[in-house]
Structure 1
Amino acid sequence: MHELSWDEIAAQLAVDDVALLPIGATEQHGHHAPLLLDTGWASVVAEEAARRANCLAAPPLHYGWSHGHMAFPGTLGLRAETLTAVAVDIGECLVRHGFRRIVLVNGNRMANLAPLEIAAVKLRMATGALVAVADCGLLARGAVAGLSEGGPGTLGHAGESETSLVLAYYPHLTDMARAPGGFVAQVRGAAPRHGHYTLDARLDGDSVSMPHLPEEFRARTEARQGVVGDDSLASAEKGRAMVAAIADRLAGVIAAMRRTEVTVRIPPIVA
């Protein structure tokens, strides 16, 4: 969208009313990967899905709910309520222009979910627009797990899938010589720290949500540079295949959204 002129966007709106809003984060991903990794997930998946579905992707939001990584320099985040408010503000702008179907594409896998799910409800209730949240970590878990070589748990933070993403799309910002390599399974007990969702379909089971403090996460992952998962199994080929699987699934979601009747109420402009 941001690479077009306003009249080109108007021409697209004359034939389609779907907009994808990529939302990522600026947070640590070990020594080997750039802080833009989560925004990379959102941007690349949104662009690939937009090509498949012939719709528009809005400019990405580079900030997310990154409180859990604040013990690592460079991590920049928004409060949960701020992220919700920003997503609602941008969504309302899209609705005012004529977009009736909006997908919040979450690249900060699971971490942004709660604020974005609230934003989706607020937008839906306020405008009537059809709003979905598509999480890059959850949208095609089975397909991504099937593309992985490692055992359960290797798809964690900056692990097999995320390192594959940056090798495929941001190789100039990735230095595998600085990666920790290998994999150390996280301790799993009656109160798993990953919360109610898992990135890896092979880890599904009973769960409870227990947030960690930033210093706890750093201490727990210090030996692995803040990495959870297996970066040693990553490859650019896997990264492209995983993005394709997620984008294919998102294109299917968009097709289903287009079949749904939508009646929209235009919200007032609030300065």
Structure 2
Amino acid sequence: MPRTASVWMHEMSWNEVDEHLRRDDVALVPIGATEQHGHFAPMLLDTGWAIVVAEETARRSGCLVTPPLHFGWSSGHMAYPGAIGLRAETLTAVATDIAHSLLHSGFKRVVFVNGNRVANLPPLEIAAVKLRVATGAAVAVADCGLLAREAVAALCEGAPGTIGHAGETEISMVMAYWPQFTDLAKAPGGFVPAPVPDLASPPRRGHGSLDRRLDGDSVFLPHTPEEFRARTEARQGVDGDDSLASAEKGRAMVAAIAGRLAGFVEELRGMPVTVRGTGPVA
């Protein structure tokens, strides 16, 4: 029986990877998390973002995708059962080792596709900087929540502040790609969005905003797991509005994000890259 062509590296034989490297040297590394998204959505959601965006990007651009990493920097959700997190320095080390292995194989351009939107950024950005400086390889981080903010916001019908955790965007994505694990009958409802900031408002407590309509001055003050649970427990740990989510929106959002990432892959291919010092990970 003939083998089915795949963009996933772990579904290929080693010689098929070798043949691919003669044509292209870009690898996408999907990295997500295992953490709660209410009573009605699966804990795979963050990794799900990275999986579907990386796969669609690879189909558009002709690159390969590594097996996904289902663990991220999830300290804020550890008060909820089932969360599995890595320390920030561990995530940096794991991402660095994955990329270093790819560079040793012959890849020269590696993109960490972050599905644990914004939360994984500090450890992954540190890994990318370390790899760029140490090896000269083109190593980048693409965040599924930040890559196509204008296009995603245009697809949302909820008021500003409704995009958050297990909100309109995330639930649209799992409705499109993992409906068998999603039960909107269990959704909490009754979400009240954060007010839109004005110039006189105090700084928002977080550097990264998924919702472009909430951009403004900011500072960073992390919450403890207990604080997050106390703030969100009445709504199952949800910090967003799922009520306007749909599978159609989910597919359109993934297409918009993957389209932007495919364009960035083409930009990476145009960069002159000389890789050095990439012995095997030991």
Amino acid at match of 2:49: W
Q: Point out where structure 1 has 5 or more consecutive residues left out of the alignment.
A: none
The structure 2 residue matched to 1:213, chosen from 224, 244, 250, is 224
Say yes or no: does 1:238 pair with 2:246: no
TM-score, normalising length from structure 2? 0.94
| Alignment partner, residue 4 of structure 2 | none
| Alignment partner, residue 148 of structure 2 | 140
How many angstroms does 1:184 deviate by? 1.4
Q: Is the 8 A contact 1:192 1:210 kept in 2?
A: no
Secondary structure in structure 1 of the residue aligned to 2:10: coil
Say yes or no: does 1:227 pair with 2:242: no
Distance 1:254 1:270 in 2: 26
> Alpha carbons of 1:270 and 1:17: their partners in 2 closer, same or farther (altered >3 Å)?
closer
Q: Is the 8 A contact 1:25 1:66 kept in 2?
A: yes
Amino acid at match of 1:209: F
| Alignment partner, residue 192 of structure 1 | 204
- The within-5 A match list for 1:1-80 is 1-80=9-88
Distance 1:182 1:107 in 2: 26
TM-score, normalising length from structure 1? 0.97
Amino acid at match of 1:185: P
Q: Provide the identity percentage.
A: 71
Q: Is the 8 A contact 2:30 2:54 kept in 1?
A: yes
Distance 1:118 1:205 in 2: 25
> Alpha carbons of 1:41 and 1:232: their partners in 2 closer, same or farther (altered >3 Å)?
same
| Alignment partner, residue 162 of structure 2 | 154
Q: Is the 8 A contact 1:95 1:266 kept in 2?
A: no
Distance 2:203 2:88 in 1: 23
Secondary structure in structure 2 of the residue aligned to 1:103: strand
Count of aligned positions: 270
Q: Is the 8 A contact 2:38 2:236 kept in 1?
A: yes
Say yes or no: does 1:99 pair with 2:107: yes
How many angstroms does 1:186 deviate by? 3.5
| Alignment partner, residue 262 of structure 1 | 273
Secondary structure in structure 1 of the residue aligned to 2:139: strand
Q: Is the 8 A contact 1:156 1:199 kept in 2?
A: yes
How many angstroms does 1:190 deviate by? 2.1
Q: Is the 8 A contact 2:109 2:138 kept in 1?
A: yes
How many angstroms does 1:127 deviate by? 1.1
The structure 2 residue matched to 1:249, chosen from 257, 260, 278, is 260
Secondary structure in structure 2 of the residue aligned to 1:231: coil
Distance 2:108 2:281 in 1: 19
Q: Is the 8 A contact 2:160 2:194 kept in 1?
A: no
Q: Is the 8 A contact 2:203 2:217 kept in 1?
A: no
Q: Is the 8 A contact 2:203 2:216 kept in 1?
A: no
How many angstroms does 1:70 deviate by? 0.5
Cα-Cα RMSD: 1.1
How many angstroms does 1:73 deviate by? 0.4
How many angstroms does 1:191 deviate by? 4.4
Say yes or no: does 1:172 pair with 2:184: no
Q: Is the 8 A contact 2:187 2:242 kept in 1?
A: yes
Secondary structure in structure 2 of the residue aligned to 1:121: helix
Distance 1:178 1:126 in 2: 49
Deviations 1:171-217 (A, max 9, x none): 00011111112421237762433x11100111111111110011111
